[in-house]
Amino acid sequence: MSNIAGKAYAMNVITPIHSYMAWINKLIFWIALKMPSTLRGLITLSLIHYARWVIIGKKQFPHLDASQPREDLHYSYMLFFSNFNGSWAQYVDSFTFAIPSGLDLFWKWNIRYPRSVPLTPFHSYIQFNQIQTDHYYNAYPMAAANDIKSAKTVRAALLAFDAKFGATASAASVISAAASEPHTSPSPEQFLQHYNALLRSLQHDMGVMQPLPIISLADQAKGE
Amino acid sequence: MANVSGKAYALTCLCPIRKGQLDGIAYSDEVRYRLHNWGLLEQSPMAKVPQTYLCRYFVLNDVYYESLPGTEFGGTFFDFLSIFSDRFRRKALPKEDHLKSKYLVFSCNLHGDLDTYLRGMWQAISADIQTIWGFCYGFEKVNDADSFIAYIKKCQLNASLFFNGSNDDPLPEQLKALYVKQEFSRFAEQHQGMSAAQLQQAYQAFIQRIEPDNLARPSWQPGQTSLQLGG
């Protein structure tokens, strides 16, 4: 069992839903897809790498061979997969506190869903319906979702800075000087001024990552 | 399509596992055992598959009977009717479902289009794929990248909603950006209070070392768990 890969936790939840209610859920998801502003609450939960909801109709379980028995089910099923940073409890609680009504909107029609508030029945519901992951792979176990977003900002800013004030800029200006244009290689003082400005602009994105997992074994056990 | 968010793709598949035993162990348990053993390797086989952000495997044994109390549509209506007869209370109980097959669930977040990804997966780890999927119905017909793509698509389920809270850049770009962030943060910390001339000189050496526009190297490697490997 391995729900954890570095800083990411894999959550799998499967819950039954009446087939006729599944269509309502699909409609709600479709609206959320067409109107991304409805997902603003989710975006504030910046601990999520990726999450998805999949609804399997009661007759839609893959059937690949004549020798495979066909499923005969009363309900359709909703699968929820999430990849997030932090512990199980932090994640579930942040959902409850940040977007309780959004949570209810997505799960409301599922059988015996207790609603997101109060917390304890909701914890029990998720724990009861959670499936443990057998193998979890993360391409960047040392990074949180916020690290990936901020790293993109840092690299883009550094490339732009280097094009103006770095060695490449100096070489380019030497070439332009050969073409009888004024030499614009930055003086050390100019460089320092712009370097400090670069650091100021990246204050919220800088930071060293570490290989240690941020989740304790105790927290992992809580999710089992 | 809900499987796509920008250039990120959400692949979900449920592959039915055959009934049977290998040396007294049920195929589904053998699949689970082999997946657990992937976790003991220094690198997951999935690290070799290009453009994999995050992925997971698990065996779905069965669905759950919802025995816990909850609030659901129609509940209050049955509460009211149960004043008249116990059968209304019993009718409000959830029905019991059981799966007839166990399923290998593969859920993957990847960059790019599905066919290219699955082709790359087959080319990178076909032997590993066969050790896991070899117990599934219909997999005996898979013998090359094309048949693997066709097989996975038969098992694929579409997402109703896919949320991307990260970004959808190609994986090498994400890894290079993480490397640059790590190195530049260290550089900024270690070069505080230097004279302007010294700083400019150190910066130029730093940029030559980290090559921020070179995606190939130096960079973090997929699945890298230690800073010693590449930064």
The domains found in chain A, sorted by start residue, are 4-129 (3.30.70), 145-205 (no CATH)
Which pLDDT value is given to residue A184?
Answer: 63
Q: Residue range A161-169: average pLDDT?
A: 81
Does the distance separating the beta carbons of B159 and A53 come in below 8 Å? Answer: yes
Q: Are residues B145 and B175 in the same domain?
A: no
B74 domain residue, yes or no: no
Give the model's pLDDT for residue A169.
Answer: 57
Residues in B closer than 8 angstroms to A55, CB to CB, are: 160
- Pair (B9, B53) in one structural domain: yes
| Chain A hits for B44, Cβ within 8 Å | 135, 137
Q: Tell me the average pLDDT of chain A.
A: 86
pLDDT bin (cut points 50, 70, 90) of residue A218 is: very low
Task: Establish if B26 belongs to a structural domain.
Answer: yes
Higher-pLDDT residue of A101 and A191 is: A191
- What is the structure's pLDDT at A8? 92
Global ipTM = 0.94
Q: How much is the pLDDT for A177?
A: 44
Does residue A163 sit at the B interface (CB-CB below 8 Å)? Answer: no
Give the end-to-end CA distance of chain A in Å, rounded to a whole number.
9
- Region A166-186: what's the mean pLDDT? 55
> Does the residue B164 lie in any domain?
no
Give the pLDDT band of residue A14 (cuts 50, 70, 90).
very high
Q: Are B116 and B152 in contact (CB under 8 A)?
A: no
Answer yes or no: is pLDDT of A174 > 50. Answer: no
- The full 3-state SS of chain B, as one line of letters, equals CCCEECCEEEEEEEEEECCCEECCEEHHHHHHHHHHHHCCCCCCHHHHCCCEEEEEEEEECCCCCCCCCCCCCCHHHHHHHCCCCHHHHHHCCCCCCCCCCEEEEEEEEEECCHHHHHHHHHHHHHHHHHHHHCCECCHHHCCCHHHHHHHHHHHECCCCEEEECCCCCCHHHHHHHHHHHHHHHHHHHHCCCCCHHHHHHHHHHHHHHHCCCCCCCCCCCCCCCCCCCCC
Domain assignment of residue B199, given as a range? 170-231
Give pLDDT < 50 ranges for chain B.
229-231
pLDDT at residue A216 in the model: 43
Q: Give the nearest partner residue to A69 out of B73, B100, B223, using CB atoms.
A: B100
Say if pTM beats, i.e. exceeds, 0.95. Answer: no
Same-domain status, B120 and B59: yes
Q: How close is the nearest chain B Cα to the Cα of A182, in Å? A: 21
Whole-number pLDDT of residue A223: 52
**What's residue B89's pLDDT?**
79
Please give the average per-residue pLDDT across A100-119, as a whole number. Answer: 88
